Chains A and B, each alone.
Chain A
Amino acid sequence: MFDRVEAFYRPESVPEVLRLLQRSKGQARMVAGGTDLVVEGDRSVRFLIDLTRAGLTYIRSRDTTCVIGATTTLADLEESTAIHALAGGLLSRAAAACGSVQNRNLATLGGNLAHGSPAADMATPLLALDASVVVADGEGRHKMPLAEYFGRAWQNGASHALLIEVRVPMPPQNGRCGWSFQKFGRTEVDLSLVNAAAGLQLDARGRVKWARLALGAVAAAPFRALPVESLMAGREFDHSLLAEAGEEVMREVQPIADLRASEEFRRELSRVVAGRALEECAARAGCSL
């Protein structure tokens, strides 16, 4: 699989990782859990840089932010009490929906994001939570919104930039809030054909104070469906609003067609999955339709 690999490095600090990246001139790949890289079996790889000892495995909960190190595994997210306490456990639920137990014991949050898959299941909940990321390269550390990270060329793991951590601002605790993650694959363990993460706050009269909706696997990168969010703000949460939101979702998505599903099916699923996410949010906020 990695017939050409000449060296497997296990750096113990971030600067060491960056030095190795620099020296390997694009012929190195960073590896954390390896759940994407090993399957990919890229024969051109000459060096592998293992990130799991570089001190990036942590979850730190502060007053206004939760900081998650890039090599934190999905299993860690699934089990962490700090993550359970964040947005009703949204990230834990999303992590639990990724692959199998064996995958989640290996796969890391950073790997899930840095691999650049439009179907990454951790991307949509983090987008919905307005997360930002910190990356490091030869010139230092940079913080940027997650959406911007997806837009940059360096999202590919072969680049010279290292994803350090993800920062999640604490969402508002007061009022009737609800969060939801929903995904749909062909079977229970599958890449998402569609995934959606949503958040919602309702006021005392059942009107939407604010809504957030992120969709994955139905465009080149996971994205926030801002028109849907603004359409919902201030409206009473009911079936007709959901139907309108669903229509808007179908306009927003740009799904592909391949052997896994047709474009038509993905578009229809987007509506259903987004609708279910919003409905679950409302239910968690105390409004069941």
Chain B
Amino acid sequence: MNTTVVGKNLRKVDGFKLVTGGAAFTDDVLLPGMLYGKILPSPYAHARIKRIDTSKAKALPGVHAVLTYKDVPRVPHTTAGQAWPEPSPYDTYLLDSKVRFVGDRVAAVAAESRALAEQALRLIDVDYEVLPAVLDMEAAMDAGAPVIHDEPDSTKIFDREHNIAAHIRREIGNVDDGFREADFIFEREYRTQRQQHCMLEPHVTICWLDGDGRLMIRTSTQVPYHCRRQVAMILQIPVSRVRVIKPRIGGGFGGKQEMLLEDICSALALATRRPVKIEYTREEEFYMARSRHPQILRMKMGVKRDGTVVASHLQVLATTGAYGSHASTVQGNTGSKVLPLYRAPHLRFECDVVYTNTPVAGAFRGYGCPQGFFAQESLADEIAYKLGMDPVEFHRKNAIRLGDVDKLSAQLGEGKEGLPRVIRSCGLPECVKRGAAAIDWDRKRQSLPARAGFVKHGVGMSCTMQGSGIAGIDWAASFLKMNEDGSFFLQVGASDVGAGADTVLAQIAAETLGVSLGKIIVTSGDTDFTPFDTGAYASSTTIISGGAVKKAAEKVRAQVLGVAAKMLAVPVENLACAKDEVFTTTKPRKSVSMAEVALQALYQEKLQIMDGASHYNTDSPPPFCATFAEVAVDTQTGRVRVVHLATAVDPGVAINPMQAEGQVEGAVTQGLGFALSEELMLNHTGWPMNPNFLDYKIFSAKDMPKLTTILVETEEPLGPYGAKSVSEVPINGVAPAIANAIFHAVGVRIRKLPIRPEDMLRALYEQQPELKPEEALVTQ
């Protein structure tokens, strides 16, 4: 593609501000008279508040408000930042008389300092009736298990008596028939853990009333528009009285696709008529924010003797914690984005998402896929091994390809029926080829593991996919207007959360308008000044918001050309724009600069060149990814060191390859932690045991393996300039590629994450290493 701005490694449009430490983030402002808000977390996993006395806290000088459930409206809602009507259950309250996990909101205070706020919390006197709690997801549906949502006003809960927030059962073809056709059937159980986002910037919100008494919310969010709608609904004020401002964001990874502090911070601002800030500490972030849904997955696959997959059946038990935020949709993805990777005609997905008295799960990069792919790609490796096939060959034979129609997606949409997925671009075969070459697959599969030494090396791989926006639901709008100097204001509702959306969207506008990147000034994520956007999630921004920008830019370009046509006295059809000017495409060559066009329009024609556009897609083109890992397993200590991780991704066209590579590297880093070290642990009373970076181990620079990142570009017809997405898909394949590499190294299968040294060593002691492929096949 012949482009001048798109596809180039241009610097982030907001980069200068970020690296020079200018006022950029939510917490970089200090408002006069600002109070500090603080939430009293429940010390019990499940309890009813029998009596709550706030008089001592209120009497403390410097304390301006203490709120309990008695002081605020009771409006059942979900905190999931999803398009209205949200598919998640309405089971959450601003404050409630019942608490459902350790960390649940009991009360909130606003005081003149953080220390005073903390002191006030200690002065709140609460009598709890402690209720039996259920922490284990496998016990949540049992008869006699405590009912977590026994309140009558919650809605959209699948089966409250059995703590089932959501239930899914979908089938393509006939899986039972499929298994009868199979020569071999494999079935295994996999378990995944509670992982936390650990974004650099914790959740932080500042709320105040402006001169007109409107509620201003400056907040670290991925979803400004959903947040505005939800806060207005919960506080029962008109949407027009609320403005959400999204400044620069220090990472979200899904944790900020959530209305988490905005409601309570707003309530405190309204109660005190003063600015109020609430910022989670790192500790609070771990258990009072959101995390990845832990799952138990039973994966069953039927294959022909030649390795052809005929049927897959995935059964999932997941817990959403105490509230059902993203319960059905994350788990829906575990089926809909995972099973169709293989072209089997018979697919079945069954899932129960249960409530437990544990921290609330939510959206997290990969959105259900890392769990699903860990199961599927581990089992695929096992099957390939048992059939004596190279896993690369197994994928070549079975993976979805160009022109295929994924029918499961038609059944599993965003909490309802979705739309079928047609594969219009697919770089997966090339990803596999180039990833394999990068890790020296063919040679290492043969030569490893070396016999001598207690450190064993092995290589493993996996293939994964994702989506690009939610088909038929995600949509975005954008607006452009021209200035005298030939620059353009670009206004988008899209939320750059640090990943570089502003830059990519500006590149799309600049390319379409024929101007340099510096001529696009972006304002994003402000509900008063930018048009609607569903938000930064589901890998949607480049394809959906970018689509809206391209459309608006095309309309504006037409206006520019219209003015230029008059100035140059040539027909519009003979004009084009590039390099900040409009020129004739026919001889003789004549041109006017963009600035001249702007001056002409503004002062002669009395015309503001401006226009906006809306955009959505009815399909969600999948980006593809092949992940290859080389590991070194220390068989004496159980330490698994990833030596090399090669990730080949098909993101469509990379609008900014440098940023796309950054996304891949960030995703695999979180994937490495998911595979090997990260887990938020709870004790038997539901208390978080490691809400800190001392004992919750994320990957540091020293832990990182050699990374190879390969972009395999394809041209997606539904994407602006051929783009799909890149932010989520690379996280999905890391854990299974590592688990498969471990098997190659030591002949032991690990089916539970994370694979910590102690877990690895235990498995080496307990499992009989499997090193002979000719071992008996499991048949039915």
Contacts and interface: CB of A to CB of B under 8 A. Distances in A.
Contacts of A189: 700, 702-703
A269 interface: yes
B700 A265 contact: no
Interface in B437-474: none
A3 B112 CA distance: 13
Contact of B761 (A260, A265, A273): A265
Interface stretch (B83-91, B192-200, B424-432, B687-695): B687-695
Contacts of B761: 265, 268
A187 B697 contact: yes
A203 interface: no
Nearest to B690: A259
Contacts of B114: 3
A259 B758 CA distance: 11
A184 interface: yes
A138 B689 CA distance: 41
B55 interface: no
A189 B694 CA distance: 9
Interface string B690-727: 10001101011111000000000000000000000000
B548 to A, nearest CB: 42
Contact of B637 (A100, A184, A259): A184
Contact of B681 (A187, A259, A262, A268): A259
A153 interface: no
30 contacts: A3-B114, A3-B115, A100-B700, A100-B701, A184-B637, A184-B757, A186-B677, A186-B757, A187-B699, A187-B700, A188-B700, A188-B702, A188-B703, A189-B700, A189-B702, A189-B703, A191-B694, A259-B681, A259-B689, A259-B690, A259-B695, A260-B695, A261-B758, A262-B758, A265-B758, A265-B762, A268-B761, A269-B637, A272-B636, A272-B637
Given A100-B702, A259-B681, 9 more contacts: A3-B114, A187-B697, A187-B700, A187-B702, A187-B703, A188-B702, A191-B694, A265-B758, A269-B637
A145 B662 CA distance: 52
Contacts of A269: 637
Contact of A39 (B694, B701, B702): B694
Contacts of A260: 695
User: Chain A contact residues: over half helix, strand or loop, or mixed?
Assistant: loop
Interface of B: 114-115, 118, 636-637, 639, 677, 681, 689-690, 694-695, 697, 699-703, 756-758, 761-762
Nearest to B689: A259
Nearest to A261: B758
Interface string A252-274: 00000001111001001100110
A164 to B, nearest CB: 29
In the A-B complex, list the 8 residue pairs whose CB atoms are closest, starting with the nearest: A188-B702, A3-B115, A265-B758, A272-B636, A188-B703, A189-B700, A187-B697, A259-B689
Interface string A83-112: 000000000000000001000000000000
Nearest to A271: B636
Contacts of A188: 700, 702-703
A279 B588 CA distance: 83
A184 B758 CA distance: 12
B677 A187 contact: yes
A190 interface: yes
A273 B761 CA distance: 14
Nearest to B699: A187
If over half of B's interface residues share one DSSP class (helix, strand or loop), that class is named, otherwise mixed; here it is loop
A259 B688 CA distance: 11
Q: Which of B636, B689, B762 has the most CB of A within 10 A?
A: B636
Which of A39, A189, A273 has the most C-beta atoms of chain B within 10 angstroms of its own C-beta? A189
Nearest to A39: B694
Interface in A186-234: 186-191
A167 B520 CA distance: 64
A268 B762 CA distance: 11
Given A261-B758, A265-B758, A272-B636, A190 B689 contact: no
A184 B639 contact: yes
Contacts of A186: 677, 697, 756-757
B27 to A, nearest CB: 16
B66 to A, nearest CB: 20
Q: Which of A187, A269, A272 has the most CB of B within 10 A?
A: A187
Contacts of B695: 259-260
A269 B699 CA distance: 22
A5 to B, nearest CB: 11
Interface in A1-29: 3
Contacts of B756: 186
Interface in A159-196: 184, 186-191
Nearest to B754: A186
Contacts of B697: 186-187, 190
Which among A261, A262, A269, A273 has the greatest number of chain B C-beta atoms within 10 A?
A269
Contacts of B694: 39, 191
B456 to A, nearest CB: 15
A247 to B, nearest CB: 15
Nearest to B118: A3
Contacts of A39: 694
Nearest to B698: A187
Nearest to B683: A259
A194 B314 CA distance: 41
Contacts of A190: 697
Nearest to A268: B761
A274 B413 CA distance: 56
Nearest to A3: B115
Nearest to B678: A187
A275 to B, nearest CB: 8
A183 to B, nearest CB: 11
B115 to A, nearest CB: 4
B491 to A, nearest CB: 40
A273 B689 CA distance: 27
Contacts of B639: 184
Nearest to B757: A186
Nearest to A269: B637
A121 B527 CA distance: 53
Contacts of B681: 259
Contacts of B637: 184, 269, 272-273
A272 B454 CA distance: 11
B34 to A, nearest CB: 17
Contacts of B690: 259
A184 B641 CA distance: 13
A217 to B, nearest CB: 14
A100 B761 CA distance: 26
Contacts of A268: 761
Contacts of B700: 100, 187-189
Which of A39, A261, A268, A273 neighbours the largest number of chain B CB atoms within 10 Å of its CB? A268
B756 to A, nearest CB: 6
A258 to B, nearest CB: 9
B195 to A, nearest CB: 15
A82 B699 CA distance: 34
A269 B762 CA distance: 12
B516 to A, nearest CB: 39
A3 B122 CA distance: 15
Nearest to A4: B115
A287 B701 CA distance: 34
Nearest to B756: A186
Contacts of B699: 187
B668 to A, nearest CB: 16
A47 to B, nearest CB: 17
A272 B639 CA distance: 12
B194 to A, nearest CB: 14
